[in-house]
Amino acid sequence: MTEQDRHLEEVKKQAFSDYAKYINPMKVRTLNQAGIHIMEGRREGAAVWDITGRKYIDCQTGSGIMNVGRHNPEMVAVLKKALDSLDIGVFLFFSEQKANLAKKLAEITPGEDLNSTVFGVGGGEAIDAAIKLARGYTMKTEVIYTEKAYHGHTGFALSAIGRASYREPFEPLIPGFKMVPFNDIEAVRNTLTDNTAAIIVETIQGEGGINIPSDDYLPALRTICDEHETCLILDEIQTGLGRTGKMFGCEHWGVVPDIMTLAKSLGGGIYPISATIYKEEMQDFFIPHPFIHLSTFGGSDLGCVVALAAIEYIQKHRLCENAEKMGQRFKAGFDGILDQYPQLLLEVRQKGLMMGLQYTNESIGPRMTKKFAERGLLAVYAGTDSSVCRFMPPLTITAEEVDFILNVVEDAMQELSKEKGISSED
Ligand SMILES: Cc1ncc(COP(=O)(O)O)c(C=O)c1O
């Protein structure tokens, strides 16, 4: 070990100890146990280096923040240039940057009517705005959400989160929220009343374990919402902006929501911004209340410049097509591994580069995450279902990187298959 290596190890040790003392000791312990106690240094494309120099291919990507790749030089250049003349901007006034981004979002979202946008900073805020808008516009109060859903930890979003351990410590939450199983149309029909303002779902559940709905689910929700003057809110915070092989997840099923939320990759991996895009007719709600939903930093001028550049990058570099193509390559590899290790793997879930491996039991998730990290791969089990490992690499990923990941997964599976307590003969 060189002097420099020793120094970096010391820096890392000190930062962990400060993190534990001043931020969150349990997070440090948990990440240590999971073998993913990395401290991010250099970032480039699909790769990230620990400050001590160890390279990882990143399939965690903050659950899909990095669609354009890590520390994308074009994004960095755009932000640097914007800083020559802009700051965050004052939310009360108009700006060309906000107008340009809102216009672009209207252009790329499906259907003719998703033309209006409220900006925010993060995903939870975008969900809060969506639910407020649905309630305010319909003058109804109930909201139907799904088991294992993840929409963020702010007020309305937390009330719609499908995991009891996140919700319960803060109850009573906002009244009128009713949970139904995901992908169950009958349950929605049985729960809906004349007072249902909105049904909110992710087009594919991310934190819940890459749950892909059956083909009739989203179209049926659309029909139900139309019949009952209820808003369909589609949370595209993970699935949007090319992740699934199309610009938006809902395009796989030809469904246009009344309200769509975007965040994560909208910021190009370098600047936080979110958007709640809604049908133009719902603008009516804002006529008597132009200042009813405000966010000081939401849709900052800098964020809007970066977001516009991120969308243009996805289009220019055909990242939807790459997501579809690389997704197929992953699927072929994962299917082969599934055939080899049926005692460890139950299912491969995949739409573009939104992918999950369903293990045969929950204990396998953390064990595999650790083995992956030892082999230079970051892929972490889902927040709400540790029997599923999520793979959400940047959409810029290359065939060589896909093959590297597949080799790591196969090698880790092989090692795990020999361990005690795994095979049915143990
Ligand atoms: C589908 C989905 N919706 C909403 C959110 C909340 O976003 P944020 O953490 O930016 O508040 C997340 C975050 O992971 C998410 O995955």
Helix, strand, coil % in the chain, rounded to nearest 5: 45, 20, 40
Closest ligand 1 atom, CA of 239? 1
* Helix axes 3-22 and 25-33, enclosed angle (nearest 10): 130
Using most ligand atoms within 8 A of CB, pick from 61, 201, 237, 239 the residue to mutate for ligand 1: 237
Say which CATH class 73-316 falls into. Answer: alpha beta
* Atom from ligand 1 closest to the CA of residue 205: 1
Sequence-distant contacts of 79-86: CB under 8 A, at least 24 apart: 79/270, 79/271, 79/302, 79/305, 79/306, 82/301, 82/302, 82/305, 82/306, 83/302, 86/301, 86/302, 86/305
Question: Best of 150, 262, 266 to mutate for ligand 1, by most ligand atoms within 8 A of CB?
Answer: 150
Question: Does the pLDDT at position 423 exceed 90?
Answer: no
> Do residues 295 and 90 make contact, with C-beta atoms less than 8 angstroms apart?
no
pLDDT digits (tens, 9 = 90+) for 215-235: 999 999 999 999 999 999 999
Contact criterion met (CB below 8 Å) for 289 and 243: no
Task: Let me know if 151 is exposed, middle or buried by CB neighbors in 10 A (0-12, 13-18, 19+).
Answer: buried
Q: Which two tokens stand for residue 37?
A: 């106690």
Query: How wide is the angle at C-alpha 360 spanned by C-alphas 326 and 167, nearest 5°?
Result: 90
Nearest atom of ligand 1 to the alpha carbon of 154: 11
34-68+318-417 and 73-316 share one fold? no
Answer for the pair 261, 238: CB distance below 8 angstroms, yes or no: no
pLDDT in tens, 288-305: 889 999 999 999 999 999
The closest alpha carbon to 391, from 57, 5, 39, 2, belongs to 57
State the Cα–Cα distance between residues 89 and 64, nearest whole angstrom: 27
- CA neighbours within 13 Å on the CB side: how many for 124? 10
**Residue 149 banded pLDDT, cuts 50, 70, 90:** very high
The full set of domain ranges for the chain reads 34-68+318-417, 73-316
Q: Pocket around ligand 1: residues whose beta carbon is below 6 Å from it?
A: 63, 122-124, 127, 150-152, 202, 206-207, 235, 237-238, 263
354 CA distance to ligand 1 middle (Å): 15
Q: What is the Å distance from ligand 1's center to 207 Cα?
A: 9
Q: Which ligand 1 atom minimizes the distance to the CA of 272?
A: 10
What digits encode the pLDDT tens for the residues 161-192? 999 999 999 999 999 999 999 999 999 999 99
Query: How many angstroms separate the alpha carbon of residue 125 from the centre of ligand 1?
Result: 9
- CATH architecture group of domain 34-68+318-417: Alpha-Beta Complex (3.90)
Q: What pTM value is reported for the model?
A: 0.97
| pLDDT tens-digit series, residues 43-78 | 999 999 999 999 999 999 999 999 999 999 999 999
